[in-house]
Amino acid sequence: MAAGSEPSQPYTPESTAFRSALEVIRGVEPRVADAIGAEIEDQRASLKLIASENYASPAVLLAMGNWFSDKYAEGTVGRRFYAGCRNVDTVEALAAEHARELFGAPHAYVQPHSGIDANLVAFWAVLAQRVESPALERAQARHINDLSEEDWAQLRRALGDQRMLGMSLDAGGHLTHGFRPNISGKMFEQRSYGTHPATGLLDYDAVRAAAHEFRPLILIAGYSAYPRLVNFRIMREIADEVGATLMVDMAHFAGLVAGKVFTGDFDPVPHAQITTTTTHKSLRGPRGGMVLCDSSLAEYVDKGCPMVLGGPLPHVMAAKAVAFAEARQPQFQDYAQRIVDNAQALAEGLKRRGATLVTDGTDNHLVLIDVSGYGLTGRQAESALLDSGIVTNRNAIPQDPNGAWYTSGIRIGTPALTTRGLGTAEMDEVADLIDTVLARTTPGTTASGKPSKAQHTLAGGVAAQVSERAAELLAKHPLYPGIDLS
């Protein structure tokens, strides 16, 4: 802008705040400022369909960039190991209060830095409640990387050969639910339950049979790629029958619980003894985690720091408080319902075009496409869609022949597009864009001429055509319209 000239419209407070922040950053490291500016432009230009991503409000984003970042605050509200934490106490107490009211939970712990941290807090809280063991104390005193496989085996034996039963990865479960590449798979002897091979739906009789045979300490419900409802009343009944603690990981669908779309048997909080979640995804807050629990576990959960967490992040807790306050507003319930409406409309649009969907539809925010019907792997489909301005992620499907790396599925979700204001009528156009790309993509070959699971060829002009159509659709729903960085 030329010196002395005025913008055509007055800058909003949000524009002023973010422009000023970027100017300050640019004065120290301009490449970081440029990357931040480029990121918002990339997000504005992309059809974001990653089920685990969303757009936080300017208020949430701004709450993270302040002097709370400078504070150490180990401990809990009123019981800190550092002096000078009265303001941290205020924001942590506010975040916990909003979370309790939002979810109807007896207790909320808002310190976890991520979903995996929330799960670790939950695991150790259940273990600590069940047994106070010298082996447990020794394990806490040692660096996690110093524990050998035999150390873990001894620890599990000391804790009573603790076992975990959770949903298998290919059925839609999560890596943190007891699988070997994750630390949870070292802490527990794990067994998985899957879905019915014909329908892809949870088979509660099979879950019950597995629980009675395996006798787990923790029965985990929750998912990252299961497109249907889970009956948590039945899951609690199964847990009670075998003396297990029911833990629910609702990281993906917490916004649908907060927005009162999932109620009764489908709301995990009244049924689970302990519930974990991230605070972004469908909840639309900052990246972070949280644990909700009944009163019997509260004292153990509150020991998450220093048991498995480092110092809490007060600036992120401040942002959580803002996000939870937003989610308590009536309009959030309308937003949550529109997420599901959009996902179901998107699923129907894909089915009309011949796409094969896992479970033949959705009850929540996500849709899982079996792209083998297009002759593609998930990795090929993901790349072709990205070339065309559509951001998704490949995902395994039940009994996936391509494994967890190449996969046979694409997972798509509607929280982010719903935040931008797209509705059910526009989901048909989104479905057409996806189908157009996948139908015009063919597998590539390796250097030796064999079929490749990674390479693909997209028909000439399709990427540009679809990108242009996506841009036209997004132009009607600008992202952060109140923020002008120019």
Domain boundary among 305, 327, 349: 327
Residues 171 and 250 in one domain: yes
Q: What is the CATH number of the domain that holds 296?
A: 3.40.640.10
Q: Which neighbouring-strand residues pair with 275?
A: 248, 292
The pLDDT value recorded for residue 129 is 79
Q: Which helix (H) or strand (E) holds 387?
A: helix 378-387
Q: What is the CATH number of the domain that holds 409?
A: 3.90.1150.10
The pLDDT value recorded for residue 472 is 94
Q: How far apart are CA 45 and CA 49, in angstroms?
A: 13
Task: Evaluate whether 36 touches 25 at the Cβ level (below 8 Å).
Answer: yes
Residues 336 and 217 in one domain: no
Q: At 199, give phi and psi (nearest 5°).
A: -110, -20
Q: Which helix (H) or strand (E) holds 247?
A: strand 245-249
**What is the CA 211 to chain-centroid distance, rounded?**
26
| Tally of structural domains, the chain | 2
Fill in the DSSP letter of residue 450: P
List residues with catalytic annotation: 72, 74, 249, 278, 281, 287
Residues 111 and 190 in one domain: yes
Asked if the structure places residue 300 within a domain, the reply is yes
CA-CA-CA-CA torsion sign (255, 269, 296, 141): negative
Q: What is the DSSP string of 119-160?
A: HHHHHHHHHHHH---HHHHHHHHS-GGG--HHHHHHHHHHTT
- Answer yes or no: pTM beyond 0.75: yes
Q: At 208, give phi and psi (nearest 5°).
A: -60, -45
Residues 347 and 278 in one domain: no
Tokens found for residue 232: 């948590």
The pLDDT value recorded for residue 267 is 98
Residues 233 and 337 in one domain: no
The pLDDT value recorded for residue 142 is 55
Asked if the structure places residue 27 within a domain, the reply is no
Q: How far apart are CA 275 and CA 272, in angstroms?
A: 6
Domain boundary among 278, 303, 327: 327
Asked if the structure places residue 17 within a domain, the reply is no
Tokens found for residue 20: 């000023």
Asked if the structure places residue 338 within a domain, the reply is yes
β pairing state of 163-167 and 218-222: parallel
Q: How far apart are CA 383 and CA 153, in angstroms?
A: 41
Tokens found for residue 2: 């030329």
Q: How far apart are CA 388 and CA 47, in angstroms?
A: 9
Residues 172 and 216 in one domain: yes
Terminal-to-terminal C-alpha distance of the chain: 8
Asked if the structure places residue 358 within a domain, the reply is yes
SS (H, E, C) 185-202: HHHCEEEEECECCCCCCE
Residues 181 and 72 in one domain: yes
pLDDT (tens, 9 = 90+) of the chain, 486 residues, equals 333 334 445 578 999 999 999 999 999 999 999 999 999 999 999 999 999 999 999 999 999 999 999 999 988 999 888 899 999 999 999 999 999 999 999 999 999 999 989 999 998 898 887 765 455 555 555 555 566 777 766 666 665 558 889 888 777 777 777 666 777 767 788 888 989 988 989 999 999 999 999 989 899 999 989 999 999 999 999 999 998 999 999 999 999 999 999 999 999 999 999 999 999 999 999 999 999 999 999 999 998 888 888 889 999 999 999 999 999 999 999 999 999 999 999 999 999 999 999 999 999 999 999 999 999 999 999 999 999 999 999 999 988 999 889 999 999 999 999 999 999 999 999 999 999 999 999 988 877 777 788 888 888 999 999 999 999 999 999 999 989 988
Task: Evaluate whether 437 touches 390 at the Cβ level (below 8 Å).
Answer: yes
Tokens found for residue 396: 């395994």
Residues 336 and 285 in one domain: no
Q: Within a 10 A sphere around the Cβ of 138, how many other Cβ atoms?
A: 14
Asked if the structure places residue 119 within a domain, the reply is yes
Residues 233 and 132 in one domain: yes
Asked if the structure places residue 413 within a domain, the reply is yes
| Closest of 69, 40, 33 to residue 55, by C-alpha | 40
Residues 302 and 451 in one domain: no
Q: What is the DSSP string of 273-341?
A: SEEEEESSGGG-S-S-EEEEE-TTTHHHHTTHHHHT--S--HHHHHHHHHHHHHHTSHHHHHHHHHHHH
Domain boundary among 303, 327, 351: 327
Residues 234 and 354 in one domain: no
Name every residue whose Cβ is closer than 8 Å to that of residue 348 and which is 6 or more positions away in sequence: 361, 431
Q: How far apart are CA 434 and CA 180, in angstroms?
A: 34
Asked if the structure places residue 232 within a domain, the reply is yes
Residues 343 and 290 in one domain: no
Q: Within a 10 A sphere around the Cβ of 144, how many other Cβ atoms?
A: 10
Q: What is the span of the domain harbouring residue 410?
A: 330-475
